[in-house]
Structure 1
Amino acid sequence: MSHSTAPDARSHRRRRRALAATLAALVAVPAAALTSAAAEPTAEPTPLAAADFRGVNWAMPGDNFTDDPVVPEGLSESDSYDTVKAKAAAVIEGFASTIDANTVRLPINFDSVPGTAWGDRYAGAVDAATEAGFNVILSMWEGNSPNGRIDDMNGFNAMWDAVVDRWGSNSRVHFELMNEPHGYSAGDWANIAATWIANRPEVPRNRIFVSGSGFNQDVTGVCADSRLDGTYLSLHSYTFFHGEMTYDQWMNTLAARIGNCGSRTVLDEFGAPTDDGRNYNDANSTDNFVRYIRAATDTVRNHDMGAVYWPALGGKHTQRPDYDWYSLYALEGSGTNLTLRVRSTSMVDRLHHAWGI
């Protein structure tokens, strides 16, 4: 039995929303302003719907929790800005050509932002992605012993000020305030996010991602907080959060953690093994990973959400000595001549289903 919606329903809904927004704008703007706008285009594009984020995570080998600079797989801390940019351009082109992605989520930490030795070079990855037309989600990660809390609030603010100074005028760069803030209560985390926004009124709200509470596991609380209106919401889901469940249980669990907030929500971490032949297209599978991925991708599609797979490259080396068994790609080539090999075509099929393409 299929658990999908009609193939073109989502695209119709998005086209209707876009048309309605365009007509409303045209009615509201005086003719003189339209003439001026035609001569001098606005710097900010029409705000993206959450469903327009179709992407992958590019992570550091061994995961992004580190006390050192965070260096995604394929890059080297000794690389120059130009080398980073050339390598990133090759990787980003691979993401686009193999799965039609348009978004990459990149980690940052205190030692990996403009103004630091590595951060000034790592900026080449962000610049390569945006110049290729990609959306970039920059997410702040903790150090090597994560407790779900910001260890140094002054350092946190200085880090984000440097990022906003560098890319605040680039509408393709988005700011995810903190990855998995599980050391805070839902209310305390909302207060931190609201303070970040209030202190940076120049940052458009449609450039901000607020993580759900816990390990980004529930967005209903931050969605209901009016101080965070207009921001995107970040949700994470993995089998190890919940254990074995049926397809329907997975669907119900995800729905409860999204509520009516799907149009603002991007599932920017979810993943499963890609190197052992699991068939994620099998709707009758009794494998928990398959049921979970099918439910996650159906949920994204049904709720008009965005989806960013974890990981494309990088990640934990716990099940395999040399790579993350969830990783969508094997990185091949050398120097700046990098290519990507897809590990699981059925996982790509499910991503395409989630994205409505």
Structure 2
Amino acid sequence: MRHHTRGPLTALLAGSMMLALSWTGAGPAQAATNNFRGVNWADERDNFVDGVLVLGGLSTSDSYATTQTKADKILSGFQNNLGANTVRMPVNYATVSGSYWNSYTGAIDKATSKGMKVILSYWEGNSSRDGKVDNSSQFWSMWQTIVNKYGGNGNVYFEPFNEPHGYSDSDWKNLAAQWLSNYSGVPRGRVIISGTGYNQGLITIGSDSRFDGCLISRHIYQFFDTGRHTKQSWKDALADSVGSYASRVIVTEWGAPMTDGRDYDADADNKDDFVAFVRGVASESRALGLGTVYWPGVRPNDAYRIQNINGSGTSISLSTTNSSGRDQLRFSWGI
């Protein structure tokens, strides 16, 4: 989702369909999702962009080869500094339908070549931010292009819509079910269905047989519920939302300030709400075997970022903004 500088994340579309793919593949069997140890790689403007998405450290002038060179250094930073094996990246119609797609795929391809899982998630544009798909025909066209290219790549996961808060629960589920119908060749174990609202309503997704076999996305932030002040209260909030579906749930966004020197290794119940939040989410994610994907790994100038980009051009590297935050992130992963 987003923190204070980010607007609401979006939802799925109502409307037209594309033909379902004919190929098939076996999806990974899930006993737990803690094999997803991830971070979000985001646009500096946030991922709500009307035009082309430009991930931190990249440029629309970059060729495929240059994008691969830069991406290798950023992804290596995620792996070496954090122990990450997953990266979540945004997509939108402008990016996928234009000439820059040829370069953008360089980052996706580099991640998969390094053995990383890639979660591709659709974000609505900055001018709408209504929690609904901006343009249905463009939405389906975008996903057809993406699925045609990556449907057969077992390291690529598809998140049809990020934060579908503009839809009622039933309307969102109908749209998500339409995605599964349109792209029935995609193994369900590689489709991540957002919880209703701001990726918070998980049980209504898990209990709907139309989504059997799919993963489920949860977003959780301190500002979602500012009345919680203890680690245990956040553990309870996460556990209650997951219900009996822990084996399918991934926390694809959670984050807190990482650039102000806060100590997340200290017990701060009723003293620091962000520390209580991070420790609670990390602890319960570990206990439930949930994968987590931190917001953000890289997004220049975001106070929540857990990695800084150093250098410029292709001479770049990453460094950790907060070692105690890194400790808690790794703890959530079971490391």
Whether contact under 8 Å (2:71, 2:110) holds in the other structure is yes
Which structure exhibits the higher relative contact order, with contacts defined as CA atoms closer than 8 Å and separated by 6 or more residues?
A: 2
SS of residue matched to 2:87: strand
Whether contact under 8 Å (1:70, 1:109) holds in the other structure is yes
Give the corresponding residue for 1:267. Answer: 251
2:143 maps to which of 145, 151, 160: 160
Give the corresponding residue for 2:200. Answer: 217
Whether contact under 8 Å (2:27, 2:188) holds in the other structure is no
Whether contact under 8 Å (1:69, 1:111) holds in the other structure is yes
1:170 maps to which of 153, 173, 177: 153
Give the corresponding residue for 2:105. Answer: 123
The runs of 5 or more residues in structure 2 that have no matched partner are: 1-24
Matched, 1:328 2:317: no
State the alpha-carbon separation in 2 of the partners of residues 284 and 238 from structure 1. Answer: 17
SS of residue matched to 1:280: coil
Whether contact under 8 Å (1:57, 1:313) holds in the other structure is yes
Pairwise CA distance, 1:44: 5.5
Pairwise CA distance, 1:62: 2.1
Identity of aligned residues (%): 42
SS of residue matched to 1:139: strand
Whether contact under 8 Å (2:123, 2:162) holds in the other structure is yes
State the alpha-carbon separation in 1 of the partners of residues 100 and 83 from structure 2. Answer: 29
Matched, 1:310 2:289: no
| Equivalent position amino acid for 2:255 in 1 | G
Pairwise CA distance, 1:155: 0.9
Give the corresponding residue for 2:284. Answer: 299
- 1:253-279 Cα shifts (integer Å, max 9, x gaps): 222211111110110100001111111
1:73 maps to which of 48, 53, 56: 56
RMSD: 1.5
- Compare 101-110 and 276-285 and name the one that shifted more: 276-285
CA pair 191-45 structure 1, distance change in 2 beyond 3 A: closer
TM-score, normalised to structure 2's length? Answer: 0.89
Matched, 1:346 2:328: no
TM-score, normalised to structure 1's length? Answer: 0.84
Whether contact under 8 Å (2:26, 2:187) holds in the other structure is no
State the alpha-carbon separation in 1 of the partners of residues 82 and 239 from structure 2. Answer: 26
State the alpha-carbon separation in 1 of the partners of residues 62 and 291 from structure 2. Answer: 32
State the alpha-carbon separation in 2 of the partners of residues 218 and 293 from structure 1. Answer: 20
Matched, 1:139 2:117: no
SS of residue matched to 1:51: coil
State the alpha-carbon separation in 1 of the partners of residues 276 and 106 from structure 2. Answer: 38
CA pair 47-88 structure 1, distance change in 2 beyond 3 A: farther
Give the corresponding residue for 2:13. Answer: none
Pairwise CA distance, 1:45: 7.6
CA pair 272-137 structure 1, distance change in 2 beyond 3 A: same
State the alpha-carbon separation in 2 of the partners of residues 46 and 151 from structure 1. Answer: 31
State the alpha-carbon separation in 1 of the partners of residues 46 and 28 from structure 2. Answer: 34
Alignment of 1:77-116 (within 5 A): 77-113=60-96, 115-116=97-98
1:249 maps to which of 233, 236, 240: 233
State the alpha-carbon separation in 1 of the partners of residues 257 and 250 from structure 2. Answer: 21
Whether contact under 8 Å (1:301, 1:356) holds in the other structure is yes
- 1:146-169 Cα shifts (integer Å, max 9, x gaps): 100012111111100000001111
Write 1 or 2 for the structure with the bigger share of helix: 1
CA pair 323-152 structure 1, distance change in 2 beyond 3 A: same
SS of residue matched to 1:112: helix
CA pair 45-250 structure 1, distance change in 2 beyond 3 A: closer
Whether contact under 8 Å (1:244, 1:288) holds in the other structure is no
Whether contact under 8 Å (1:206, 1:231) holds in the other structure is yes
- Aligned residues between the structures: 308
Whether contact under 8 Å (1:129, 1:135) holds in the other structure is yes
Matched, 1:258 2:247: no
Whether contact under 8 Å (2:229, 2:272) holds in the other structure is no
State the alpha-carbon separation in 2 of the partners of residues 200 and 341 from structure 1. Answer: 39
Whether contact under 8 Å (2:199, 2:219) holds in the other structure is yes
| Equivalent position amino acid for 2:87 in 1 | V
SS of residue matched to 2:95: coil
CA pair 151-284 structure 1, distance change in 2 beyond 3 A: closer
- 1:27-77 Cα shifts (integer Å, max 9, x gaps): xxxxxxxxxxxxxxxx86854541110010000002100101111110001
State the alpha-carbon separation in 1 of the partners of residues 157 and 133 from structure 2. Answer: 20
